[in-house]
Amino acid sequence: MSRFALPKLTRRAALLTGAGALAYALSSAPALAADFGQWVATFKPKALAKGVSSATYDRVMNGLTPDTRVYALANAQPEFSEQTWQYINRRVSDWRIGAGKEKAREYASLFSRIEKDYGVDRGTLLGLWGIESAYGDPLVQQNHMRPIFPCLAALAFGEARRRAYWETELINALRIVEKGWGTPAEMRGSWAGAMGHTQWMPEVWLNVGSDYDGDGKVSPFGKPDDALASTARYLLQRGKYRRGEHWGYEVKGGGASGEASRSYAAWQAAGVTRADGQPFPQPQATAKMWQPVNGGPVFLLGQNFYAVRSYNPSMNYALAIVHLGDRLLGGGPFVQPFPGSERTPTLAEVQEIQTRLTKLGFDTGGTDGRVGNDTMKAVRDFQKKVGMQPADGYAGIKLLARLRQGA
């Protein structure tokens, strides 16, 4: 929910979006401040018409400085640019699997309650929680989240392609403050305004959020009860999640994507079987076949895969979440590897990569086995220095072998 596939820019739109807006902001700060201040004043009646009080609007918006970095970030969509196997490996990492298993034990009773109330299985919720916020890790909030009002205001003011959307989300965020569910200071999130454990957009917080812990307010922060239960509610209501069905399976005996949905029994009759050799537990449930990359693994995807995809319109994103969920509940790696792929490095191997890069003068931001922006930049800089191609920032087995050879 925190990333978007946006249409191509027209020349006119580019003047106030992407690099054009950033250049304008950097070179004409006084003009931007004046224009933005005028926009804040003219936007106020729209917010008041949606139930925001004048006091709340003035408290949040008066004196606000727009975060113009969002224009460049709005054009960076990692789900749609990485190779599928790299995308999966980076997110279904040894660290995320280990941390997720700990969270599964810690919150076992909460997941049981959610499964009973909403029918959404814990693997799906754990996978989504792990990928969206590393299970609510404070380091993610500290290093990667920012105040959302400067972001949403900048987007509503200057992002011409989806201005109506950003205006609506800014008003939704103001209504949350009006309700007393959150304060501007604590409402930190992504450049697009997504917040908390499972990265709610303001509209989702406002309209789907549930006070699952009974503390009198709805919050995606703090205890994960509200965030996880409300996310289950979202998947059920908006993603049409089906209680008791698995998301799908890696299979053998197929390979053509885009065919019509069939029952698992019909697929089996056509010679398609699960890659792990197990039977399909619900033969009358339906699924579609998908092969992300020619020569790679093939999947039968049920409705619950697409329920997860409703959270973010990326097939790679949904595949990473459901695969992580399977791994957290005891499943193994994909049986068929992706062409040209590497196995996922272990936690110890990632830590060795970070340690070696740090000793060579490339700052990874720590050696904890977690690959964040600092580690990816350090990898990319090392790759460029030694001539490794592509210089993609991927901290994998080939990189480790090159590091072990020496710089």
Phi, psi of 62 (to 5 degrees): -65, 125
26 burial class (0-12, 13-18, 19+ CB within 10 angstroms)?
exposed
pLDDT at 76 over 90: no
- pLDDT at site 20: 43
The pLDDT, as a whole number, for residue 84 is 93
- Residues 94-140 pLDDT 10s: 999 999 999 999 999 999 999 999 999 999 999 999 999 999 988 77
Q: What is the pLDDT of residue 26?
A: 37
Confidence of residue 78 (pLDDT cuts 50, 70, 90): very low
pLDDT number for residue 17 = 39
Mean pLDDT of the chain: 89
| Among 15-29, 72-86, 244-258, 277-291, the least confident range | 15-29
pLDDT at 142: 75
Report the alpha-carbon distance of residue 289 to residue 262 in Å, rounded: 9
Residue 27 binned pLDDT confidence (cut-offs 50, 70, 90): very low
Handedness of CA 52, 50, 16, 149 (dihedral sign): positive
3-state secondary structure 207-238: HCCCCCCCCCCCCCCCCCHHHHHHHHHHHHHC
Please give the pLDDT value at position 102: 98
Strand ranges in 66-211 using DSSP code E only, listed in sequence order: 146-147, 188-189
The owner of tokens 């068929």 is 336
Q: In DSSP terms, which residues pair with 244 in a beta bridge?
A: none
pLDDT of residue 204: 96
Domains of the chain: 248-301 (no CATH), 347-405 (1.10.101)
Per-residue pLDDT band for 147 (boundaries 50, 70, 90) equals very high
Q: Which two tokens stand for residue 17?
A: 């979006």
Separation CA 174–CA 50 (nearest Å): 10
**DSSP letters for 385-397:** HHT-SS-----SH
Separation of alpha carbons 155 and 74, rounded Å: 9
Q: Is the preceding peptide bond at 202 cis, omega within 30 degrees of 0?
A: no
Q: What is the pLDDT of residue 18?
A: 41
pLDDT attached to residue 16: 37
Instruction: Give the single-character DSSP code of 254.
Output: -
Taking residues 389-406, report their average pLDDT. 93
159 has pLDDT over 60: yes
Q: Give the residue, 63 or 161, on which the prediction is more confident.
A: 63
Pick from 215, 15, 19, 220: which is nearest to 129 by CA? Answer: 220
